[in-house]
Amino acid sequence: MTADAPIQFVDLKAQYAAYKPEIDTAIQTVMDHARFIMGPEVAQLETALSEFCGAKHVISCSSGTDALLMIMMADGIGPGDAIFVPSFTFTATAEVPLLLRATPVFVDADPDDFNMDVEDLERRIAEVKAEGKLTPKGILSLDLFGLPADHEKMQAVADAHGLHLWTDAAQSFGGSCGSKKVGTMGRMTATSFFPAKPLGCAGDGGAVFTDDGDLADVMRSIRAHGKGGSKYDIARVGLNARIDTLQAAILLAKLPHFQAELERREAVANAYDAALEGVVKTPTRRQGRSSAWAQYTIQVDPARRDEIAAKMKEAGIPTAVYYPLPMHLQTAYRPLGGGEGSLPVCEALSGKVLSLPMHPFLTEGEIDRITTAVRKAVA
């Protein structure tokens, strides 16, 4: 790579080149047997994912959004239910309750690790109970940017109020809390295999993890139109949410390399930390919690963020803002939120965050270019 060559924010081409023989063979195998829906690779993938994270049951599906939809459908979420969700995240987190005609209640973020603030969660639950218009039913806890949330605290809140707790691990599969890997920290965990995720396929894909065999059976039914004992025995309202066999095959080819990729992501994050300490606010580490590093997100002066991003672009280095507007201020969700000032941490973070390139194929030279550009742009 020349000194002036642009750096990739997520380098899927480099990943494909590294694993091309395995991926091409996997794709050709599917083309040869032509079982494109629920072919043998789907069950093989579910077994391999179970072995990787330790969950007893893995139900693959068509996207991370459908994974969230399946877990809420399995718990019977519907009209009149209040679902407590983070506001500082991607739209799917609030979209899914609304698709089930439930109501998302937005919760502020922790200013350091970006995940849902437990104290504000308690306040929001108390407010909904006091108002009496909705029935609190569940908490959708998100592991933002790859760092697992404090699931023990979340579970304690859920237990105290008799609520379901679900984990949105769309960005954190591969992370861990102590000896527990993401996928085993709660009753049901949803993840995404969107191409840019730490473990990504070549299109849309997702999965749900659970140790509850009865829930797993219900979700297998839901993902196939609510199928009962046979194809035309419909036991419940369901979805068309099966993962394509081709996507399962690609994930199977990538999975043996995933642990090494996670270790490289950690090394990249450590190098960023060392080079940017005292220059910008780097991501907060939590003792005992290991991030999958879906993103490496710094915080900068909000008055200068656009300028800093522009200078980085001039240096051939892409950046991204996740997320420029919290959900409670977005057009579709504004009627459900409290307006400007109602979630001050989320609103402040949306003005300060800036994500740097993060993938396991960054070279030491590229990391040096990126961090040097950050220092120059900030100065």
Per-domain residue ranges of the chain: 14-256, 258-378
Beta bridge pairs of residue 85: 106
Instruction: Give the pairing type, strands 81-86 and 289-290.
Output: unpaired
Q: What is the pLDDT of residue 1?
A: 40
Q: Give me the mean pLDDT over the 76-82 stretch.
A: 98
Q: What is the pLDDT of residue 314?
A: 95
* Cis ω for the linkage preceding 323 (within 30 of 0): yes
Beta bridge pairs of residue 181: 176
Output the pTM of the full model.
Answer: 0.96
Classify 84 as helix, strand or coil: strand
**Torsion sign across C-alpha atoms 195, 201, 206, 212:** negative
Chain segment 85-123, per-residue pLDDT in tens: 999 999 999 999 999 999 999 999 999 999 999 999 999
Quickly name the fold that domain 14-256 has. Aspartate Aminotransferase; domain 2 (3.40.640)
pLDDT tier, 4 (very low <50, low <70, confident <90, very high otherwise)? low
Kindly give the interhelix angle for 305-314 and 364-378, rounded to the nearest 10 degrees: 140
Chain segment 202-236, per-residue pLDDT in tens: 999 999 999 999 999 999 999 999 999 888 999 99
Kindly give the interhelix angle for 364-378 and 258-276, rounded to the nearest 10 degrees: 30
Cα distances (angstroms) measured from residue 11 to each of 198, 251, 255? 11, 16, 17
CB 83 within 8 A of CB 163: no
For residue 2, pLDDT beyond 70: no
Quickly name the fold that domain 258-378 has. Aspartate Aminotransferase, domain 1 (3.90.1150)
Q: What is the pLDDT of residue 311?
A: 97
CB 145 within 8 A of CB 168: no
Q: What is the pLDDT of residue 250?
A: 98
CB 326 within 8 A of CB 88: yes
Same fold, 14-256 and 258-378: no
Chain segment 236-287, per-residue pLDDT in tens: 999 999 999 999 999 999 999 999 999 999 999 999 999 999 999 999 999 9
